[in-house]
Structure 1
Amino acid sequence: MIKKFIAISLLSSFLVVGALPLAMAETTTTSTPTSTPVKTHKPHPELHAAAIDVTCIQQAIDTRDSALSTAVDAYATAVKNALSARQSALKSAWALTNKKDRQAAIKNAWLDYRKAIKKARKDLGTARQNAWKDYYSSKKSCKVMEGEPYGGQGADANL
């Protein structure tokens, strides 16, 4: 008796599930899309090519990229100095005969190196942000409102 009940229940559920898409297809309605008015935008006078002060924006780009180049040079110098200091400190540490003193000196050499690298990265990030902030300010004074579609500040995020 229970087997018959389960079989009938399964069969009826399959029929309902199978017939459901057919029932839904019969009740669908079609609608015609309504036309919406097309908005036309007038270009801003600031964006028009004749209104852009090309010399001004070129100077802003030169200033920004020079600042970024200087920041990268300073970062590279700081990393080289950190590596040199680490090298000297580790060589001196390994020359120590007392094991405790040697381990402490090695630990301090690595800690100092990590601090120097962290500071160099922070200084680079700050310089990068300042260069872009100054660029955006200069760009605004040049009356250029356009963005840079294939670049921008994010392109220099990995410097």
Structure 2
Amino acid sequence: MKKIIFSFALLSFMFLGVSFAFAQEQPATTTTPITPVITAKPAPKPFDPVCIQNAIEKRDTAVIAAFDKFSSVIKSALGVRKDALKAAWAKPTAKERRAAVLAAWNAYKKSTREAVAAAKKERKAAWDQFRKDRIACKDKEVNATSGGEHIGFDGF
């Protein structure tokens, strides 16, 4: 039994010695650090403020003209409605009055819908042309289309 314990102890010390030999650190290899290459950005293109000012002038003049046209059409439609309603209430029977009042309101709704649609179309055309003009100016730094695009009367 003593021989077995002695053999076991001897083998344990041998394996322990071998494991310490494998645990030694390997010599470190030196590597050169990788340095990032920084490239300079190209110089910005020269900015022409007159070009964008002309585009803004053109856009806003077109929007003002569209709103003026819209306003005059609505004013005219209100006058026609007023006269048609006054004439409707002059009818002798309730059936005729009801039909005339309904016709007056339907004509007014139709003319206002057409005016709103035309004004939206003209406003959109003015903004689309402005975007094209702005791109033609090569003005990539100023985002002049943000804000104020959808302001107006009745979704105009």
Smaller-chain TM-score bracket: 0.5 to 0.7
Match of 2:147 among 125, 130, 151: 151
Question: Structure 1's 60 and 126: CA in aligned 2 closer, same or farther, altered over 3 A?
Answer: same
> Are residue 45 (structure 1) and residue 39 (structure 2) matched?
no
The count of residues paired between Structure 1 and Structure 2 equals: 118
Match of 2:102 among 101, 107, 112: 107
Identity %: 36
Report the alpha carbon displacement of residue 87 of structure 1 after superposing the two structures with TM: 0.1
Which structure 2 residues correspond to residues 117-132 of structure 1 after superposition, within 5 A?
A: 117-132=112-127
**CA distance in 2 between partners of 1:59 and 1:95 (Å):** 54
Report the alpha carbon displacement of residue 148 of structure 1 after superposing the two structures with TM: 2.8
Question: Structure 1's 109 and 74: CA in aligned 2 closer, same or farther, altered over 3 A?
Answer: same
Question: Structure 1's 121 and 55: CA in aligned 2 closer, same or farther, altered over 3 A?
Answer: same
| Higher normalized helix content (fraction of residues) | 1
Instruction: Please give the secondary structure, in 2, of the residue aligned with 1:97.
Output: coil
Which residue of 2 is the match for residue 54 of structure 1? Answer: 49
**CA distance in 2 between partners of 1:156 and 1:63 (Å):** 18
Supply the AA of the counterpart residue of 2:92.
T
When the two structures are superposed, what TM-score results if normalisation uses the length of structure 1? 0.65
- Which structure 2 residue ranges, 5 or more long, are not aligned? 1-35
Determine which structure has more spread, i.e. the larger CA radius of gyration.
2
When the two structures are superposed, what TM-score results if normalisation uses the length of structure 2? 0.67
Which residue of 2 is the match for residue 21 of structure 1? Answer: none
Which structure 2 residues correspond to residues 21-36 of structure 1 after superposition, within 5 A?
A: none
Supply the AA of the counterpart residue of 1:63.
K
Q: RMSD in angstroms over aligned alpha carbons?
A: 2.6
**CA distance in 1 between partners of 2:40 and 2:81 (Å):** 61
Which residue of 2 is the match for residue 139 of structure 1? Answer: 134
Report the alpha carbon displacement of residue 98 of structure 1 after superposing the two structures with TM: 2.2
Report the alpha carbon displacement of residue 85 of structure 1 after superposing the two structures with TM: 0.5
- Which structure 1 residue ranges, 5 or more long, are not aligned? 1-36
**CA distance in 2 between partners of 1:135 and 1:102 (Å):** 49
**CA distance in 2 between partners of 1:87 and 1:72 (Å):** 22
